[in-house]
Amino acid sequence: MKKITITIDGYSSCGKSTLAKQLAKKLGYLYIDSGAMYRAITLYFIQHTVNWNDAEAVKEALRSIHLEFIHNQITGQSDMYLNDENVEPLIREMLVAEKVSEVAAVREVREFAVAQQQKMGKERGIVMDGRDIGTVVFPHAELKIFMTADPAIRVERRFKELYEKNRNITLHEVKENLELRDYIDSNREVSPLRKADDAIILDNSQLTMPEQLDLVLQWVEDAIMAHSS
Ligand code: CDP
Ligand code: CDP
């Protein structure tokens, strides 16, 4: 069957990566979590006290950053490696979440990440999730999804996830972080979070994960049909 490119963009914690992973597994496609790349760059900047408001310092630091996704045999998923170190758990922490949207708004950082994302998606058969995948990274993708969910539901979902790992986290802290990130992501100058004109909206506030997967698999079938003639 013809392989296509699937992009999933949308707000924080609406279930983009959950859906993208399930789709990739079901279709035998490659899954790329573009947010992990921005998180890893942010981690590097924090660890090396790089001033991300200084374009020269950013360019210099980016020359020392090597990002790679490596398959994890135990979890069956891809882990983010920063300069040969598995940074998967570290990049999910609040310390990174608090700064990632500022770093991701920097033009040089975006150019660095987008170039690598486009290389990874040269062959079709890829699902990539993020904020600008349908608008900037793969504007010619055959299926574009723009995900959203009720803000209170998104906060609850992310809180549950983080609370399992850190009992000190508060609902308020998670809410503030999601609101701030969505605001910065939607209002930045370079590649703001936007629905591509040809993207389909998926509001999963009231959908279970199997329900949303079934719905999207139908869209995939339709997109393959539409592009095979
Ligand atoms: O999973 P979650 O919604 O928490 O976010 P993520 O996908 O891990 O992305 C973290 C941050 O990276 C976002 O809040 C954006 O600031 C940035 N990002 C971006 O600017 N462009 C992308 N394609 C992906 C992520
Ligand atoms: O990638 P993104 O930040 O958009 O979200 P995610 O990490 O895939 O999902 C955030 C949380 O929402 C996860 O714990 C999912 O299990 C949960 N989720 C859900 O409860 N119901 C859905 N329909 C989709 C995701």
CATH no. for residue 56?
3.40.50.300
Residue 192 belongs to a domain: yes
Output the ligand 2 site: residues, CB below 6 A: 12-18, 157-158, 161, 204, 207, 209, 212
Residue 82's pLDDT band (cuts 50, 70, 90): very high
pLDDT at 229 over 80: no
Instruction: Specify if 197 maps to a domain.
Output: yes
* Domains held by the chain: number: 1
Residue 60: inside a domain: yes
Nearest ligand by distance to the CA of 155? 2
203 part of a folded domain: yes
Domain assignment present for residue 229? The answer is no
| Structural domain that includes position 45 | 5-224
Exposed (0-12), middle (13-18) or buried (19+): which is 160, by Cβ within 10 Å?
exposed
Q: Is the pTM of this model over 0.90?
A: yes
Q: Which of 17, 34, 136 to mutate to test the pocket of ligand 1 (most atoms within 8 A of CB)?
A: 34
Q: What is the DSSP string of 81-124?
A: EETTEE-HHHHTSHHHHTTHHHHHT-HHHHHHHHHHHHHHTSSS
Asked if the structure places residue 32 within a domain, the reply is yes
Q: Is 13 annotated as a binding residue?
A: yes
Give residue 124's pLDDT.
Answer: 87
Checking ipTM against 0.85, whether it exceeds it is: yes
Separation between Cα atoms, residue 158 and residue 160, nearest integer Å: 5
Average pLDDT (189-214) is 96
- pLDDT bucket at 96, cuts 50 / 70 / 90: very high
Task: Answer whether residue 182 is part of any domain.
Answer: yes
The pLDDT value recorded for residue 228 is: 85
Ligand 1 atom with the shortest distance to the CA of 101: 16
Atom 13 (ligand 1) nearest CA: 101
| Mean of pLDDT values over 168-192 | 96
Q: What is the pLDDT of residues 100-154, one digit of tens each?
A: 999 999 999 999 999 999 999 998 899 999 999 999 999 999 999 999 999 999 9
Domain membership of residue 51 (yes or no) is yes
